[in-house]
């Protein structure tokens, strides 16, 4: 079971867009997927049309150690219903840090939940949509994942967030006892802007082969699809946004970064 955390310590860079659309892209290929929403804003859940109670969300995983299988909600992905499963977020997630602290029981709760779900017949790919803050929830997402995908929008602050996350991942290596494999993907890319190309060059110099060749353009379709409660493939499969995320998915699969 592939487990991919989508994370950047900067908001507004396309984390949810990337997590949802990669999951939808795999669903189009007939791959069973699970999306775990760990963002207290619940953007992935809202995009897929879910507003759960706290006892039927990711919060129950941390507060009650509820089995992951009891929290799954079927969702339409790529126009198929159901095309995958969702563990929805809830506003109560903001209390996880203060209520449960940063001990191993909390930090490894999601990993343990996924392990148990895998033994019960898990999906072949899990996408963990992390919030922009470096706290218990995002760390739990990283600890549960095999690899981390870092969306970086073409602006200065997003690059700073990616650099900060690089330092964080390096600091976690002694805890995890392994190097966290990661890829960086440039999002909200506007080829007409000189700054976008300068940022692309900066990222290429800094991250080398860990920077994805695929760039996600800033398009109307990607902005509109959450409003319609659809992923980009269900919203407009012929759009530039759909082609970009299809290309990113194929790149990650070909590189073995995403194994299903």
Q: What confidence score (pLDDT) does residue 124 get?
A: 81
Q: Phi first, then psi: what are they for 188, rounded to 5°?
A: 50, 40
| Of 184, 188, 179, nearest in space to 205 by CA | 184
127 forms bridges with which residues in the sheet? 4, 35
- For residues 130-146, one letter each, b for 16 or more C-beta atoms within 10 angstroms of the residue's C-beta and e for the rest, the string is bbbebbbbbbbbbbbbb
Q: What confidence score (pLDDT) does residue 122 get?
A: 65
211/181 Cα distance (integer angstroms)? 12
pTM: 0.93
Q: What confidence score (pLDDT) does residue 55 get?
A: 66
Enumerate residue ranges in the chain where pLDDT < 50. Answer: none
């Amino acid at each position: 079971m592939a487990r991919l955390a989508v994370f950047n310590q900067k908001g507004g860079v396309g984390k949810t867009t990337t997590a949802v659309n990669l999951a939808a892209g795999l669903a189009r290929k007939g791959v069973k997927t699970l999306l775990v929403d760990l963002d207290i804003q619940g953007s992935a859940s809202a995009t897929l049309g879910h507003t759960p109670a706290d006892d039927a969300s990711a919060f129950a995983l941390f507060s009650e150690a509820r089995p992951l299988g009891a929290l799954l909600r079927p969702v339409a992905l790529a126009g198929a219903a159901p095309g995958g499963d969702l563990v929805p977020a809830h506003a109560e997630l903001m209390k996880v840090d203060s209520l449960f602290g940063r001990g191993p029981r909390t930090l490894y709760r999601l990993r343990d939940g996924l392990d148990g779900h895998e033994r019960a017949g898990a999906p072949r790919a899990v996408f963990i949509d992390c919030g922009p803050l470096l706290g218990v929830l995002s760390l739990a997402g990283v600890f549960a994942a095999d690899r981390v995908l870092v969306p970086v929008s073409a602006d200065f602050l997003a690059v700073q967030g990616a650099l900060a996350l690089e330092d964080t991942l390096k600091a976690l290596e002694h805890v995890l006892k392994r190097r966290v494999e990661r890829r960086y993907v440039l999002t909200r890319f506007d080829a007409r802007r000189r700054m976008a190309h300068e940022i692309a060059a900066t990222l290429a110099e800094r991250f080398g082969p860990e920077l994805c060749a695929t760039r996600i353009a800033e398009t109307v379709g990607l902005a509109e699809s959450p409003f319609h409660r659809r992923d980009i493939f269900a919203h407009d499969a012929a759009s530039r946004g759909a082609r970009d995320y299809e290309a990113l998915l194929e790149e990650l699969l070909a590189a073995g970064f995403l194994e299903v």
